[in-house]
A and B are shown apart, each in its own frame.
Chain A
Amino acid sequence: MRGRWVLAGCLFWVLSAPSLGAIEAQAFPDETIKARYYDLIATLRCPQCLNTNLAGSDAMIAQNLRATVLRLLVEGKSDAEVEQFMFERYGDFILYEPRWTAKTWLLWLGPLGLALVGLSVWWSMGASSRKTRHGLSESDRANLKQLMDR
């Protein structure tokens, strides 16, 4: 396991010694598979690590899973099939992109809902009334006057 993203937010680092370098030379049959391989290992999570994708971990399991991803791609499996393979073995945890299920619809629709609420707030507040142009209430005026006079 390794602390991949040790910083950025705050400073509570992984105290276990990091051993960086999930750097390994793979032989790819062609460029498409290479690109798909890199995409997949970036969006699959290392099941043993705290929050690192397969690409960023040198845990034993991550190495095995990277090799598995490559093997499946070479065997001609589609990206979705690789993801399904991983899901069947490691569950939702391994997919950084959550699947659409009865338990995740809120996750995907929530942002849309929030955006719609926001839009309606914006729309309703752009009023057409032109009663008051100046933003100071009576109490504001009084307070300001008091401040000025001090």
Chain B
Amino acid sequence: MIVELGHFCVVIACLLAFLQVVLPSIGLKQNNAQLMASASSLAYGVFVFTLLGFLALIHAFVTDDFSVGYVASHSNTRLPLQFKVSALWSAHEGSFLLWTLVMSIWTMMVARFSAPLTTDMRARVLICLAALGFGFYLFLLLTSNPFERALPFYPAEGADLNPLLQDFGLIVHPPLLYMGYVGLSVPFAFAIASLWGNTLDVSWARWSRPWTNLAWAFLTMGITLGSWWAYYELGWGGWWFWDAVENASFVPWLIATALIHSLAATEKRGVFKSWTVLLAIFGFSFSLLGAFLVRSGVLTSVHAFAVDPERGAAILMFLVPVIGGSLLLYGARAWDLRSRVTFKRSGRESFILGNNVLLTVSAAVVLLGTLYPLGYEALTGGDKISIGPPYFNAVFVPLMLALMALMILSHRSRWWATDRSLLTAGQGVFTAIAAVAAIGVSVVMGPIKLWIIGVAWLAFMILLNLGYELHRRVRLKSNPFSRLFNQPLAVYAMVLGHAGIAVTALGIVTTVMLSEEADLFMAPGDRAEVGAYDVQFYGTNNIEGPNYVADRGRVEVSRAGEIIATLFPEKRRYLASQSIMTEADIHVRSLGDIYVALGEPLENGAWAVRVHIKPLVRFIWFGGILIALGGVLSIFDRRYRAPVARSSRQAPPAPSREAVHG
């Protein structure tokens, strides 16, 4: 009964979203403010009913209602409670329900925080969001209904959640990622609403910025967590494979990163207007394209899905009007947005343009590599080609190095033009310090590698220049200390974001160059050497988990005779599905991880044991967290508080040469 009510609630949410499109549209036509305002109240209604539907499905999972087909195939009575809840979004139908819930949350937030917008702009933005939501509800209800009952014959026990997904990662990764994916619909809606209403001015950019930054921060966090999860859960020690599904999340991230920078330039200086609008459209279009492509099964990915031509057709029916329509609207209006504002090659605009060019090219390159096999197969009549990490690394890394090099100078740039002396002051000393530090890192971490020295040098140059810029801002005031804490939050946000990039880059290059890997044949009592470490295996014993049994090994790791860790990797057999899982154990140290996983049992209690040494691998995700924090921090900058209060307190947003982008 509750499931039917839940289903019904989602139907109501769908109808409300439809009204949320129609009523304010009539309001716009008749210039009826009341009808226009209905968009916001309806946003709350849509959210409430989606939430009720979502809760109903959670209830079905928690109470093991296996008469619901979706629950039966993804849950089990013995599944721990937290995984019963998160099993909801472990497959297509339920995760799409989560997608619609996230959409309703963003729409509601826009309704809540957009009161200062003009009535018709607000109505237009909400109409755009509601129209997207309506499309999502239709897709959910018509092609992917998770509430469907498998009556009259339903199983007494569920098939269980894939053991790989019985993990903390499943609880947090999808919701965060979806907040990012779907959050990009907000700048998209702002852009479309402005094109539609012909009101594309700098205030549009100002309004879009906090939303974009927030969505981007979620996306950053989602991707970071996904990478970390894959690393510890999958027993192979990798953290990125350029799989089509990973790329589907990475392309929108690259575009959104370009967008947050380009929005800054548009807001401050009125430049790149049409380009920024295009990026806003691209950002959400790629997140749609990626998310839907994955669901159609058209891209070969380990996130396997049977190719379902019907679903594929439904997806195209959604994508073509949304993306195609937006791009045509753009085509009709963008020409008039050309700005006559100029800047010099040394100006901050120029740096932001460089950033945008590099990020957009990177996104295009990743997209090219991801879609190429599809085109190859279509054009050759069935030949298959694989495009994997060697290709992506070869084309992507140079672009990122160029981006880092650009970032070094960008912190010192000023709007319109920058004095040469400002860009170069102290760089000689910095170059020397960064070089010494980079060589130091390489020496400390192990055998000298030129790649590490090079990337570490770039990373340290970024950090030094960030410090220089912060110091310059501080020393202008008589009381440096209070000044340090009185900078606009946007400054700290930028510092965090860019420092995060430096940290991640350092982690990536060190892990890639210096990781050690060994698959060892070990009988109980055997010792082996891996890199600078000694590994001793003490055999396994049997343990019982809530829904699995396992062999648990004991492995002692020592360095120079001193024991530094005892690790307990497990080989689990989950009872419901009888599937075997490798549960690696990881010892985390500041300079790197020691990662141990059990392979196959061999004769006489011996096992194949995999040991990885992963120097600085944590830096990759730590950097990601810094970047995301920067994004979150930026939205609390006082410039984004209610403009009513702002206009009384602050000068009009004339272009300021001091303001930072971020």
Binding site for B on A (CB under 8 A): 3-26, 38, 42-43, 45, 49-53, 55-56, 91-98, 103-104, 106-107, 110-111, 114-115, 117-119, 121-122, 125-137, 139-140, 143-144, 147-148
Contacts and interface: CB of A to CB of B under 8 A. Distances in A.
9 contacts: A5-B230, A12-B294, A17-B578, A21-B597, A21-B598, A21-B608, A126-B350, A136-B655, A148-B652
Nearest to B169: A7
Given A26-B519, A51-B302, A107-B372, A7 B173 contact: yes
Given A5-B302, A96-B386, A115-B361, A56 B162 contact: no
Contacts of B369: 107
Contact of A9 (B247, B372, B582, B598): B247
A137 B661 CA distance: 21
Contact of B236 (A55, A106, A111): A55
Given A4-B236, A114-B365, A13 B389 contact: no
B164 A19 contact: no
A103 B643 CA distance: 55
A7 B229 contact: yes
Contacts of B262: none
A21 B654 contact: no
B193 to A, nearest CB: 14
The 3 closest A-B pairs by CB, nearest first: A23-B599, A96-B388, A135-B270
Given A12-B245, A13-B91, A110-B365, A96 B302 contact: no
Contacts of A45: 386, 388
A16 B584 CA distance: 21
Contacts of B608: 21, 23-25
B234 A6 contact: yes
Contact of B600 (A21, A49, A147): A21
B304 interface: yes
A25 B579 CA distance: 22
Contacts of B342: 127, 129-132
A21 B599 contact: yes
B230 A8 contact: yes
Given A107-B368, A107-B387, A136-B654, 4 more contacts: A6-B233, A13-B91, A25-B521, A136-B202
A43 B301 contact: no
Contacts of A9: 226, 243-250, 290, 294, 301, 303
B385 A12 contact: no
Given A18-B163, A25-B608, A135 B303 contact: no
Interface string B560-586: 000000000001000001111110000
Interface residues of A, dominant DSSP = loop
Contacts of A43: 388-390
Best-buried of A20, A26, A126, A148 by chain B (most CB within 10 Å): A20
Contacts of A136: 202, 270, 654-655
A142 B252 CA distance: 34
B388 A144 contact: no
B362 to A, nearest CB: 9
Contact of B344 (A3, A8, A107, A126): A126
B50 interface: no
Contact of B202 (A52, A117, A144): A144
A135 B268 contact: yes
Contact of A3 (B164, B227, B350): B164
A25 B519 contact: yes
Given A21-B598, A97-B388, A148-B647, A91 B249 contact: no
A8 B386 contact: no
B235 A20 contact: yes
Interface in B375-400: 376, 379-380, 383-391, 394-395, 399
Contacts of B303: 3, 5-6, 9-14
A98 B383 CA distance: 13
B234 A4 contact: yes
A93 B600 CA distance: 28
Contacts of B269: 135
Contacts of A4: 234, 236, 241, 302
Nearest to B240: A8
A132 to B, nearest CB: 5
A10 B226 CA distance: 8
Nearest to B161: A13
A130 B578 CA distance: 72
Contacts of A119: 357
A8 B226 contact: yes
B302 A50 contact: yes
A55 B237 CA distance: 11
Given A96-B388, A122-B357, A132-B340, A23 B610 contact: yes
B412 to A, nearest CB: 17
B517 interface: yes
A21 B357 contact: no
Contacts of B248: 9-10
Given A8-B240, A9-B290, A140-B201, A20 B249 contact: no
A116 B178 CA distance: 34
A149 to B, nearest CB: 9
A133 B654 CA distance: 11
A115 B401 CA distance: 13
Contact of A98 (B90, B245, B380, B386): B386
A46 to B, nearest CB: 10
Given A7-B173, A50-B302, A143-B201, A96 B387 contact: yes
Interface string B308-348: 00000000000000000000000000000001111111010
A17 B162 CA distance: 7
Contacts of B358: 118
A21 B569 CA distance: 12
Contacts of B92: 12
A13 to B, nearest CB: 5
Contact of B520 (A12, A25, A121, A134): A25
A134 B655 contact: yes
Contacts of B141: none
B416 interface: yes
Contacts of A114: 361, 364-365
A17 B653 contact: no
Given A55-B236, A118-B357, A131-B342, A11 B89 contact: yes
